[in-house]
């Protein structure tokens, strides 16, 4: 990630889920233009303080940066507390993203697995997929109903023809499930598919093994890290 930092202004904020905030940052045009791939991330912090790494939920080409912040100490707590109009420092977008363009060009079913706050890393890719006139099947995993994030976005995806399933590890009744196991129960053959995943490292490792066991080619399991 480049050492260069740019000044950005918090121009909008809204609560998301039980604890988090979605911040919209007005950034220089050159910085916005550097966001080229869905799934990229950047370093953000209050000037002169510790920074955190956050996925961009806004799609490439958007004039502003949008990102989800969940308080977890340090930089995330300071960013959640930022008032409208506050100035923050932002790095250029980093990472190669998901490479979702290859999946869109090749064709085949598209699946997405997001666990907890990892769902934020999939939002830009989902918007790119819809912009290309395609749909996907999304498995969004949370502990309980009270932990669900981006409910409005999930509803909007469904309204545009994508299939959205919320998977709970601690449901009010019955056994819990994980997103990769829900996918495996629905799709017995992934040989022609593409799978995007975002979540904790252990979840991604298990999801990859699960998908490859169902025939998914290794280069079609896409992550942004």
Q: Which CATH number do you get for residue 185?
A: 3.40.50.80
Spell out a b/e string for 185-206, using b for 16 or more CB atoms within 10 Å of the CB, else e.
eebeebeebbbbbbbeeebbeb
* Domain ranges, residue 69: 6-90
Predicted pLDDT of residue 170:
95
Whether 78 is in a domain gets the answer yes
Q: Quick check: 180 pLDDT over 70? A: yes
The DSSP code for 160 is: T
Predicted pLDDT of residue 219:
97
Q: State how many domains the chain has.
A: 2
Say which residue the tokens 């959205």 belong to: 164
Q: What angle separates helix 201-213 from helix 179-186, to the nearest 10 degrees?
A: 10
Do 50 and 148 reside in the same domain of the chain? no
pLDDT tens figures, 110-169: 999 999 999 999 999 999 999 999 999 999 999 999 999 999 999 999 999 999 999 999
Whether 178 is in a domain gets the answer yes
Q: What are the tokens at 21?
A: 């905030």
Whether 33 is in a domain gets the answer yes
Q: Quick check: 2 pLDDT over 70? A: no
Q: Please compute Rg for the chain using Cα positions.
A: 17
Do 150 and 198 reside in the same domain of the chain? yes
Do 214 and 121 reside in the same domain of the chain? yes
Say which residue the tokens 């999930």 belong to: 154
Residue 64 in contact with residue 32, Cβ under 8 Å? Answer: yes
Predicted pLDDT of residue 47:
74
Whether 127 is in a domain gets the answer yes
What would the mean pLDDT of 95-106 be, rounded to a whole number? Answer: 94
Do 126 and 217 reside in the same domain of the chain? yes
Q: What are the tokens at 133?
A: 């006139």
Whether 40 is in a domain gets the answer yes
End-to-end CA separation in angstroms for the chain: 13
Q: What are the tokens at 106?
A: 């090749």
Do 81 and 179 reside in the same domain of the chain? no
What would the mean pLDDT of 191-207 be, rounded to a whole number? Answer: 96
Do 40 and 113 reside in the same domain of the chain? no
Q: What is the band of 217 on the pLDDT scale with cuts at 50, 70, 90? A: very high
Residue 90 in contact with residue 62, Cβ under 8 Å? Answer: no
Whether 95 is in a domain gets the answer no
CA distance 56 to 27: 13
- β-strands 6-16, 87-90 pairing: antiparallel
The DSSP code for 200 is: -
- Mean pLDDT (the chain, rounded): 95
Percent of the chain with pLDDT over 70: 99
Do 201 and 108 reside in the same domain of the chain? yes
Q: What is the pTM of this model?
A: 0.94
Do 119 and 218 reside in the same domain of the chain? yes
Return the bridge partners of 31, or none: none
Residue at which a domain ends, from 90, 109, 140:
90
Q: What is the band of 73 on the pLDDT scale with cuts at 50, 70, 90? A: confident
Sheet architecture: strand order including 41-46: 52-55, 41-46, 87-90, 6-16, 20-26, 64-69
Do 44 and 140 reside in the same domain of the chain? no
């Amino acid at each position: 990630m480049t050492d260069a930092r740019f000044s950005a202004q918090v121009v909008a904020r809204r609560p998301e889920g039980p604890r988090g905030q979605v911040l919209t940052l007005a950034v220089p045009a050159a910085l916005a233009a550097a966001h080229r791939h869905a799934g990229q991330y950047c370093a953000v912090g209050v000037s002169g303080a510790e920074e955190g790494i956050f996925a961009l939920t806004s799609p490439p080409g958007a004039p502003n940066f949008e990102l989800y912040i969940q308080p977890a100490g340090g930089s995330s707590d300071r960013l959640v507390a930022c008032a409208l109009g506050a100035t923050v420092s932002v790095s250029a977008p980093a990472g190669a993203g998901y490479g979702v363009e290859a999946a869109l060009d090749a064709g085949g079913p598209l699946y997405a697995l997001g666990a907890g706050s990892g769902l934020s890393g999939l939002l830009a890719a989902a918007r790119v997929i819809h912009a290309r006139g395609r749909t996907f099947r999304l498995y969004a995993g949370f502990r309980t109903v009270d932990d669900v994030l981006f409910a409005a976005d999930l509803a909007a995806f469904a309204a545009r023809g994508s299939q959205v399933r919320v998977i709970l590890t601690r449901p009010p009744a019955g056994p819990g499930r994980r997103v990769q196991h829900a996918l495996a129960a629905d799709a017995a053959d992934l040989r022609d598919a593409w799978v995007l995943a975002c979540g904790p490292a252990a979840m991604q490792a298990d999801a990859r093994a699960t998908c490859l066991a169902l025939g998914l080619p290794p280069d079609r399991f896409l992550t942004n890290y």
